[in-house]
Amino acid sequence: MQFRRNTRLASAVGLVLGLLCAVEAAKVNKHKPWIETTYHGIVTENDDRVLLDPPLIALDKDAPLRYAGEICGFRIHGQNVPFEAVVLDKSTGEGVIRAKGPLDCELQKEHTFTLQAYDCGEGPDGANMKKSHKATVHIQVNDINEYAPVFKEKSYKATVMEGKQYDSILRVEAVDADCSFQFSQICSYDIVTPEVPFTVDKDGYIKNTEKLNYGKERMYKLTVTAYDCGKTRASEDVVVKINVKPTCKPGWTGFNKRIEYEPGTGSLPLFPSVHLETCDEPITSIQANIELETNHIGKGCDRDTYSEKALHKLCGKRPASRPHSPAANTLLDNTPPASIHYRA
Ligand SMILES: [Ca+2]
Ligand SMILES: [Ca+2]
Ligand SMILES: [Ca+2]
């Protein structure tokens, strides 16, 4: 009996001493937690996992003491920071940073804020809790290729001269709303229409691969598309119309070389709608020679036997009329169907 009583007493004393020691030890929180000074993180937009370098671990020299040596939390400082930091393991101080919601790289590419770790204090109530210094955290939001290239114009058109080789006829241009260079840059343009004598380069400049012929094709209609550097094709291809203009030749137009005239019908304008094509070149002087010829001289026409005066009368010549310029309404005098020679 004596032996059993002594054993009980010793156990009770030991328990009390042990508890006292534990309480005494827990009351001492000597050290504040320690974290790195700078962290760099990467998160992909529309994801919440942040890959942190170095990994987030808060150390406390009071470890392995309960409470004082444990990490109870991380605190983020900054306005509207879309991240939170949580403790994964109190005793190792391991934690993670994660996005509170989906991130949009197109809205904001980078986030910077400060982070602080705190230990568990001296007991379950967290009394005398100690905080670490503030670390700076930079987080970069990685892009997802969500946007397709979009052409700036609804359609494009240009006019080219036939027989000419162009370095550039026109430029098509597409833009892309993604936030990264890779997914927003246009890497290539492509002419979708097969077998057309045109190429497009990576900057969107279109040129002809051979000289064009107005007689063969007056207008080309090309469909062009664009790809971003993530190989996403434009949401809508664009139409490019290229008109071929015939080569300009300077000279007179708008007249007939042969004119029928019935004797006795009075005066007849020879060139009522004649036009001098100058091909937009500057003019220094214009010279025009008009020669009228009959077709039937020597073929039984008897009018040559008339005197000039009689011919004038017969053909109804007005006294003052005299051919002067092809552009004016030159009057046909006594000449039957005529050939006109001109020089400009
Ligand atoms: Ca501590
Ligand atoms: Ca994106
Ligand atoms: Ca894109």
- Ligand 1 ion: Cβ-proximal residues, 5 Å cutoff: 29, 31, 60, 62, 68, 119, 130
pLDDT in tens, 31-47: 999 999 999 999 999 88
Ligand nearest to the CA of 105: 2
Residue 304 has pLDDT above 80, yes or no: no
What pLDDT does residue 297 have? 55
Helix (H, G, I), strand (E, B) or coil at 319: coil
pLDDT at residue number 196: 96
- The whole-chain average pLDDT of the chain stands at 84
Q: How far does the centroid of ligand 2 lie from the alpha carbon of residue 175, in Å?
A: 13
Closest to 232 measured CA to CA, from 175, 290, 193: 175
Range among 6-20, 80-94, 309-323 rated most confident: 80-94
Could you write out the DSSP letters of every residue in 31-75? ---B--SEEEEEEETT--B-EEES--B-B-TTTTSTTTTSEEEEE
Distances (CA, A) of 124 to 18, 23, 333: 18, 12, 126
What share of the chain has pLDDT > 90, as a percent?
60
Residues sharing a CB contact under 8 Å with residue 91, sequence separation 6 or more, in sequence order: 63, 64, 69, 70
Element containing residue 159 per DSSP (H, E):
strand 155-161
Contact status, residue 118 vs residue 131, Cβ threshold 8 Å: yes
Q: What angle do CA 124, 113, 93 make, to 5 degrees?
A: 35
Ligand at minimal distance from the CA of 66 is 1
How far apart CA 119 and CA 97 sit, in angstroms, is 17
pTM for the model stands at 0.61
Report pLDDT for 36.
97
pLDDT given for residue 116 in this prediction? 97
pLDDT of residue 212: 95
What value does the mean pLDDT take over residues 7-25?
Answer: 48
Radius of gyration, CA atoms only, the chain: 48
The ligand placed nearest to the CA atom of residue 45 is 2
Which ligand is in closest contact with the Cα of 174?
A: 3
More confident residue, 14 or 173: 173
Quote the tokens at residue 238: 């664009």
CB atoms within 10 A of CB 222: 19
**Quick one: which ligand is closest to 176's CA?**
3
Q: What separation in Å is there between the alpha carbon of 176 and the centre of ligand 3?
A: 5
Digit-coded pLDDT (tens) for 89-128: 999 999 999 999 999 999 999 999 999 999 999 989 988 9
| Domains of the chain by residue range | 15-142, 150-245, 248-344
Q: Which ligand is nearest to the CA of 46?
A: 2
- Residue pair 221/206 in contact (Cβ under 8 Å)? The answer is no
CA–centroid distance, 63 to ligand 1, in Å, is 7
For residue 228, give the DSSP letter: E
Confidence (pLDDT) at 314: 66
CA 67 to centroid of ligand 1, rounded, Å:
8
Statement: 150-245 belongs to CATH 2.60.40.60: yes
Query: Does the pLDDT value for residue 300 go beyond 50?
Result: no
Q: How far apart are CA 193 and CA 217, in angstroms?
A: 15
For 221, the 3-state DSSP assignment is strand
For the cut 80, the answer to whether the pLDDT of residue 18 exceeds it is no
The more confident residue out of 282 and 305 is 282
Q: How far is the CA of 71 from the centre of ligand 1 (A)?
A: 8
Q: Which fold has domain 15-142?
A: Immunoglobulin-like (2.60.40)
Equal CATH topology for 15-142 and 150-245: yes
Ligand number with the minimum distance to the CA of 122: 1
Q: Looking at residue 262, what is its pLDDT?
A: 79
Which ligand has its closest atom nearest to the C-alpha of 182?
Answer: 3
* Ligand with minimal distance to 104 CA: 2
Across 46-73, average pLDDT: 94
Ligand 2 centroid – CA 131 distance (Å): 38
Output the CA 171–ligand 2 centroid distance in Å. Answer: 26
CA of 181 to the centre of ligand 3 (A): 9
Q: What separation in Å is there between the alpha carbon of 138 and the centre of ligand 2?
A: 19
Q: What percent of the chain has pLDDT over 70?
A: 79
